[in-house]
């Protein structure tokens, strides 16, 4: 007898049956909005999962449509029936991944298990990219159109932000008030290479608000492997991260990357059957918060900078808004900054098309979804006067920077904690202050 090829999806059968086919989710689905195809809608994808489970459709017929799903969870937010689409998608992807014997899957597993967790290698890659940009080579390559012979490479190169000088955060360092609540700051991979100054801004804001910020030994959180259904790799990475982080005995575990945060909040569930670590994993997820979520828990410390004049708009990262349900907090915090005016962004909670590595794997569809977001940003900029778009996820930051660059929009992209950090500096300071470094 053949073993069930869809064991995880089979376990979620009740969740699948909860769909009443009403179609309310369709207008909330970015892939449906740009393709108009039922198979690229939440309802259509749930139907495909059902037919797959019943053996009426082969995995090859279903996979392309599930691959084109952003896993943005926008459909869950509007579903009147409470269908847990994200869990169903993940279970199906996990089952399908296990049946996939292709070289592409093997390559992705290598990246997830060997490259992303190797922080030294990522730092080296970041330094080489910075050299490529600052030496003038990037300008020359772009002017001569050298990458146009490989359009996908040209697209990926176009996603690169200006790589900042990286100031390393060493494990064991502590910042702020040692008598305050202990916060373990997780620095991640993409965030630390592409947006390292955001970590220093995070430390500065948390320290200004009385927290003792420590940098634990850490590693990759496994979020990208998780989204791809490679759960065994995620479990291994999660176990190591839980053990290392809890060693500093934090009251809070803070992350400033929405995609990583949403995966780490699942660790309790992911490791629940491993009796050796289940309790610790549950504790880890309980204490895991996005930096905006933590800052919104009590009144902010007084600001120092009353000379700011910024009109901003806010794009809600899917993994913060739809998955972690951190919806209003970032805007409530931004609204408290003197001199900062927040103008609305139409459909702020709609995905920008970044979605982990979706923009690398599906550049065309991702670009079409980004175009919709850019139309709304144009309005916020030209009619609302916004010169900055704020978002709390590195993937969204990369994607929006690309959209802004391509459409020559006079806007910049910033993380919400960076705006707060600016408000905690004296108006005279031209460069970010480093928090006072206190040995542990």
Determine the Cα–Cα distance for residues 112 and 122; give it in Å rounded to an integer: 12
57 backbone dihedrals φ, ψ, rounded to 5°: -135, 145
Is residue 228 part of the contact set for ligand SF4 (CB under 6 A)?
Answer: no
Check if the beta carbon of residue 264 is closer than 8 Å to that of residue 398.
no
DSSP strand pairing (340-343 vs 212-214): unpaired
Check if the beta carbon of residue 195 is closer than 8 Å to that of residue 165.
no
65 vs 425, beta carbon nearer ligand SF4: 65
Please name which of 59, 58, 75 lies closest in space to residue 22, comparing C-alpha atoms. Answer: 75
DSSP strand pairing (174-176 vs 212-214): antiparallel
212 three-class SS:
strand
Cα distances (Å, whole numbers) of residue 322 to 327, 348, 401: 8, 12, 22
Quick one: which of 7, 23, 151, 427 contacts ligand SF4 (CB under 6 A)?
Answer: 23
In the complex, minimum distance from the CB of residue 141 to ligand SF4, in angstroms, rounded to a whole number? 33
88 vs 183, beta carbon nearer ligand SF4: 88
Q: What angle do CA 290, 293, 299 make, to 5 degrees?
A: 140
Determine the Cα–Cα distance for residues 303 and 338; give it in Å rounded to an integer: 8
Is residue 45 part of the contact set for ligand SF4 (CB under 6 A)?
Answer: yes
Stretch that binds ligand SF4, among 18-26, 208-216, 325-333, 419-427 (CB under 6 A): 18-26
Is residue 319 part of the contact set for ligand SF4 (CB under 6 A)?
Answer: no
Q: Which residues from 68-97 bind ligand SF4, rule CB under 6 A?
A: 69-75, 79, 81, 83, 85
How many chain residues bind ligand SF4 (CB under 6 A)?
26
20 vs 307, beta carbon nearer ligand SF4: 20
Stretch that binds ligand SF4, among 14-22, 150-158, 194-202, 395-403 (CB under 6 A): 14-22
Quick one: which of 6, 9, 12, 30 contacts ligand SF4 (CB under 6 A)?
Answer: 30
314 three-class SS:
strand
Quick one: which of 29, 241, 253, 400 contacts ligand SF4 (CB under 6 A)?
Answer: 29
Q: Give residues with Cβ within 8 angstroms of 14, minimum separation 6.
A: none
55 vs 82, beta carbon nearer ligand SF4: 82
Contact string 273-292 vs ligand SF4 (x = CB under 6 A): --------------------
Quick one: which of 34, 42, 291, 362 contacts ligand SF4 (CB under 6 A)?
Answer: 42
Is residue 398 part of the contact set for ligand SF4 (CB under 6 A)?
Answer: no
Check if the beta carbon of residue 330 is closer than 8 Å to that of residue 430.
no
The footprint of ligand SF4 (CB under 6 A) covers 19-25, 28-31, 42-43, 45-46, 69-75, 79, 81, 83, 85
């Amino acid at each position: 007898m053949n073993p069930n090829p869809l064991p995880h999806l089979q376990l979620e059968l009740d969740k699948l049956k909860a769909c009443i086919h009403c179609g309310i989710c369709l207008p909330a689905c970015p892939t449906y909005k740009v393709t108009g195809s039922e198979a690229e809608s939440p309802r259509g994808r749930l139907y495909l999962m059902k037919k797959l489970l019943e053996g009426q459709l082969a995995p090859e017929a279903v996979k392309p449509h599930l691959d084109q799903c952003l896993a943005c969870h926008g459909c869950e937010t509007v579903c009147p029936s409470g269908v847990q689409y994200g869990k169903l998608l993940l279970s199906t992807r996990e089952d399908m991944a296990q049946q996939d014997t292709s070289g592409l899957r093997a390559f992705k597993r290598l990246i997830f298990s060997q490259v992303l967790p190797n922080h030294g290698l990522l730092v080296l890659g970041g330094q080489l990219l910075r050299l490529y940009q600052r030496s003038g080579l990037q300008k020359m390559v772009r002017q001569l159109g050298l990458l146009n012979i490989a359009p996908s490479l040209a697209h990926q190169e176009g996603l690169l932000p200006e790589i900042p000088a990286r100031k390393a955060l060493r494990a064991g360092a502590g910042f702020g008030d040692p008598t305050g609540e202990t916060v373990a700051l997780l620095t991640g991979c993409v965030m630390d290479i592409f947006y390292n100054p955001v970590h220093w801004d995070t430390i500065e804001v948390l320290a200004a608000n009385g927290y003792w910020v420590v940098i634990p030994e850490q590693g990759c959180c496994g979020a990208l492997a998780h989204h791809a259904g490679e759960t065994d790799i995620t479990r291994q990475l999660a176990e190591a991260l839980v053990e290392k982080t809890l060693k500093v005995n934090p009251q809070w575990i803070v992350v400033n990357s929405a995609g990583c945060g949403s995966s780490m909040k699942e660790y309790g569930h992911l490791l629940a059957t491993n009796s050796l670590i289940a309790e610790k994993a549950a504790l880890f997820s309980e204490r895991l918060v996005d930096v905006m979520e933590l800052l919104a828990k009590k009144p902010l410390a007084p600001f120092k900078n009353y000379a700011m004049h910024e009109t901003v708009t806010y794009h809600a990262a899917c993994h913060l808004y739809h998955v972690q349900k951190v919806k209003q907090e970032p805007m409530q915090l931004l609204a408290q900054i003197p001199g900062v005016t927040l103008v609305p962004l139409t459909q702020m909670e709609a995905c920008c098309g970044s979605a982990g590595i979706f923009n690398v794997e599906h550049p065309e569809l991702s670009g079409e979804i980004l175009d919709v977001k850019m139309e709304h940003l144009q309005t916020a900029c030209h009619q609302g006067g916004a010169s900055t778009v704020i978002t709390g996820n590195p993937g969204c930051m990369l994607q929006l920077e690309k959209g802004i660059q391509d459409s020559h929009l006079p806007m910049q992209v910033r993380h919400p904690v960076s705006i707060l950090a600016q408000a905690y500096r004296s108006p005279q300071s031209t460069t970010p202050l480093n928090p006072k470094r206190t040995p542990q």
